[in-house]
A and B are shown apart, each in its own frame.
Chain A
Amino acid sequence: MSLRATTSQTIGPYLRIGLEWMVIEDLAPHGVAGERVRIEGRVLDGDGKPVNDAAVEIWQANSHGVYASPEDGRGAAERGFRGYGRSLTDDAGAFRFRTIKPGGVPGPEGKPQAPHLLVTVFMRGLLKQLVTRMYFPDDPANAGDPVLALVPAARRATLIARRRGDALEWNIVLQGRDETVFFDY
């Protein structure tokens, strides 16, 4: 028998009550292999104003491109690496993660995917989550990534973080000229 998926509803303004206990902004504690990266960004609404009540969640592979999930049948990720992060935006709309750069992972039809994070965004005013991806700057694999290739060339840059000092900056812009590419998932 086939059922229909439950309808999504907004996370509302009081998400901290339920979700703050599991804020995970450091995904790579000591001992996890890989190139350390710091990701910082802001969530901005259609007026360019910071969104101070968003939950930004990321999902990523380890430095060898393996997911810490039983659905990835290629062996286990190292202990201490879960690959999941959750940051709740502050009054400036800012979120942050410390993690490792993931390895490339297999994509459709055997084509490799460039290193990336899968990102979901929940907030008041969104009746269902937004889904997007963050890619890494100056990675030669970006040019052959099968998902980036689906994005109109003029908008691709919205999915690629920029270097800023020793951090990577990547903003989530909900509307306007620099609107982030969101996916129909």
Chain B
Amino acid sequence: MSKLAPYRRPYWNTQPEYLFPRYASTVKRAPAQPLVVLPHTLTEVTAPVFGGDDVKPGDSDLTRQHKGEPLGERIVVSGRVLDENSKPVPNVLIEIWQANAAGRYNHRVDQHDAPIDPNFTGAGRVLTDAEGRYRFMTIRPGEYPWRNHYNAWRPAHIHFSLFGRGFLQRLITQMYFPGDPLLDYDPMFTCIADEKARRRLISDFDWETTLPEYALGYRFDVVLRGRDETPMENRR
């Protein structure tokens, strides 16, 4: 029990810092004191298990949660969840949430002057299969203004929340769309120093998963942290 393979530490510049003043809300919320390096013990490498009791088959179709169909362009969002060792991660609970086609969230805090769609809640979930694959049917979210800075607009995005096999694999991120001109103005996106890491948050248009006469396909693979393959004595 004394030897556990730790998770790899983040690759240089691929994860954001807590304090990023251009994203104004970080200023009062980023820790000011130095962080303490956490050893990866049994606590950190274990995580809850989710299964068929948690997620129903229809939960991955955000276009069929109400009486009518939501407005907007239907899209299929699919991909795989892998770890840094390129191994698929099965049984990952993925939760997503997003704005409607007009760029409005179904949430009391969102006061943007765009219509609520009574046929769209904007929440879905799914478990990855044995090969780490997942698939959602939804509508393309709209862009929307926020008050971070003058004339600030968020690029279209879908929020993704994922669990892994270890609690340190827990990840919340956002999926963006190819060719969105707002990305270069967005502090959330540009806070990532490494340009390749940024690009990995942009989904690809995918002809293979596009459904004829019905919905465009976008592909978005997610990589969770991986553990070193050989257990090492934990010296920290």
Asked if A and B are interacting partners, one says yes
Q: Which A residues contact B (CB, under 8 angstroms)?
A: 1-19, 21-22, 45-47, 49, 51, 53, 57, 59, 61, 67-72, 82-84, 105-110, 113, 116, 118, 120, 122-131, 146-147, 150-152, 155, 174-176, 179-185
A7 with B173: CB separation less than 8 A: yes
From A5, A49, A84, A123, B10 is in contact (CB under 8 Å) with A5
The residue in chain B whose Cβ has the minimal distance to the Cβ of A181 is B36
Given contacts A1-B86, A8-B15, 4 further A-B contacts (CB under 8 A): A4-B223, A5-B223, A107-B39, A182-B33
Question: Is B66's CB within 8 Å of the partner chain A?
Answer: no
The complex places the Cα of A49 from the Cα of B43 at a distance, in Å, of 31
Closest Cβ–Cβ distance, residue B129 to chain A (whole Å): 17
Q: Are B200 and A15 in contact (CB under 8 A)?
A: no
- Shortest Cβ distance from B35 into A: residue: A184
- A18 near B161 with CB under 8 A, answer yes
Q: Chain B interface (Cβ within 8 Å of chain A)?
A: 1-2, 4, 8, 10-11, 14-18, 20, 23, 25-33, 35-39, 41-49, 54, 82-86, 95-97, 105-107, 109-110, 121-123, 125, 159, 161, 165-168, 170-174, 188, 191-192, 196-198, 200-201, 222-226, 233-234, 236
* Contact with A125, one of B25, B38, B109, B236 (Cβ below 8 angstroms): B25
Give complex CA distance A73, B47 in Å: 13
A3–B82 CB distance below 8 A: yes
Query: Do A4 and B197 form a contact, CB below 8 Å, given A14-B105, A155-B33?
Result: yes
What are the residues of chain B within 8 A of A68 when measuring CB–CB? 48-49
Closest to A21 in B: B123
Beyond A125-B28, A183-B35, whether A106 also contacts B171 by CB under 8 A is no
Q: Does B37 contact A184, Cβ atoms closer than 8 Å?
A: yes
Task: Give chain B nearest CB distance to A164 CB in angstroms.
Answer: 25
Q: Which residue of B lies closest to A113 (CB)?
A: B41
Whose C-beta in chain A lies nearest to the C-beta of B38?
A183
Q: Which of B42, B82, B84, B125 has the most CB of A within 10 A?
A: B42
Q: Which residues of B contact A183 (CB under 8 A)?
A: 35-38
Q: Specify the chain B residue showing the minimal Cβ separation from A120.
A: B170
B48 touches A174 (CB 8 A): no
A44 to B38, CA, bound (A): 23
Q: A129 and B97: CB pair below 8 A? A: no
A3 to B174, CA, bound (A): 18
B166's partner among A22, A51, A71 (CB-CB below 8 A) is A71
Q: With contacts A7-B201, A17-B97 known, is A69 near B37, CB below 8 A?
A: no
Query: A22, B54: Cβ atoms under 8 Å?
Result: yes
Knowing A5-B11, A70-B165 are in contact, say whether A127-B43 is a contact too (CB < 8 A).
Answer: no
State whether A45 and B45 are in contact (beta carbons under 8 Å apart), knowing that A4-B84, A183-B35 are contacts in the complex: no
User: How far is A182 from B35 in the complex, measured between Cα atoms in Å?
Assistant: 5
CB contacts (< 8 Å) of B82 on chain A: these are 3
Q: Which of B18, B41, B86 contacts A127 (CB 8 A)?
A: B18
Shortest Cβ distance from A144 into chain B, in angstroms? 14
Q: Provide the residues of chain A in CB contact with B226, threshold 8 Å.
A: 2-3, 5
Chain A to chain B contacts (Cβ below 8 Å), 8 pairs: A5-B14, A7-B14, A13-B109, A17-B106, A18-B96, A69-B49, A113-B41, A147-B38
Closest to B99 in A: A14
Residues of B within 8 Å of A184, CB to CB, are 35-38
Flag if B201 contacts A19 (CB, 8 Å). no
A residues in contact with B166, CB < 8 Å: 71
A127 engages B28 (CB within 8 Å): no
- CB proximity of B157 to chain A, nearest CB, Å: 8
Query: In the docked arrangement, what's the CA distance between A3 and B89, Å?
Result: 13
Contact of B170 among A18, A19, A69, A129 (CB under 8 A): A129
- Whether the pair B29, A46 counts as a contact (CB closer than 8 A) is yes
Minimal beta-carbon separation of A24 from chain B (angstroms) = 9
